[in-house]
Amino acid sequence: MFDSSTEEPAKKPITDKNGDEPKPGDLIEIFRNVYEHWAVYVGDGYIVHLLGPDGNFSSFSTINLPVGKNNILKQKLLEVVSSDEWLINNILDQEKKPRPPHLIVDQANKLVGTTRLYHVTKYNCEHFATELRYGDPESQQVEDALKIGLGVTGVSLALGVVIVALLVWKTNQSTSN
């Protein structure tokens, strides 16, 4: 006869803010206050991710451009997420073919406990996660920040040219009168 008292309760599925359940090899985007932290889901509720140089989950929590060697950890997804929102975001799947999930997970697990050289713009947690999934490190956060920075620089430069042109015009007007 079957004894239901020894039966384990069913585990509650882990779902992102859209109600989707991650699969091994998926990229996980965690929304912090001013940045996103990235990780790779390796199954059974765990992620592998690269810590920022200050020991936090990303580098944007510091003012300087951090550089240094940092730990690659395997931790429970929900512990890393804490109270922040997160979602499955295989960000480059439309542009690049993801590597097979078992290869992503195997490589991620082999890297646990090792260190990587970290640089906020050249190799951060998003570079780490996309490199595992696609074989090529990319960071949309960095690209977007650079575009914004170049846009601000371009606007500033254009404004400077207009001001100089007005000063030259005003100087020419006052010398011709």
Name the active-site residue from 49, 102, 119, 127: 49
The model carries a pTM of: 0.72
Sheet holding 67-76, edge to edge: 85-88, 27-31, 36-43, 46-50, 67-76, 115-119
* Mean pLDDT to the nearest integer, 4-12: 64
The span from the CA of 103 to the CA of 98, in Å, is: 10
pLDDT of residue 63: 33
- Whether residue 93 is predicted with pLDDT greater than 70 in this model: the reply is yes
Looking at the chain, the whole-number percentage of residues with pLDDT higher than 90 is 51
pLDDT of residue 155: 46
Looking at the chain, the whole-number percentage of residues with pLDDT higher than 70 is 64
Q: Among positive and negative, which fits the CA dihedral 13, 16, 19, 21?
A: negative
pLDDT of residue 152: 41
The phi, psi pair for 108, rounded to 5°, reads: -60, -45
Is 49 noted as a catalytic residue in this protein? yes
pLDDT of residue 104: 98
3-state helix/strand/coil string of 62-77: CCCCCEEEEEEEEEEH
- Whether residue 51 is predicted with pLDDT greater than 80 in this model: the reply is yes
pLDDT of residue 60: 41
Name the active-site residue from 37, 102, 119, 127: 37
Q: What is the pLDDT of residues 106-155, one digit of tens each?
A: 999 999 999 888 888 889 999 999 999 999 999 987 666 555 544 444 44
Those residues with Cβ within 8 angstroms of residue 108's Cβ, 6 or more apart along the chain or in another chain: 40, 42, 48, 74, 132
**Is the pLDDT higher at 2 or at 9?**
9
* Mean pLDDT to the nearest integer, 50-79: 66
pLDDT of residue 150: 43
* Mean pLDDT to the nearest integer, 62-79: 71
pLDDT of residue 64: 36
Name the active-site residue from 102, 119, 125, 127: 125
Q: What is the pLDDT of residues 17-26, one digit of tens each?
A: 999 999 999 9
Mean pLDDT, all residues of the chain: 79
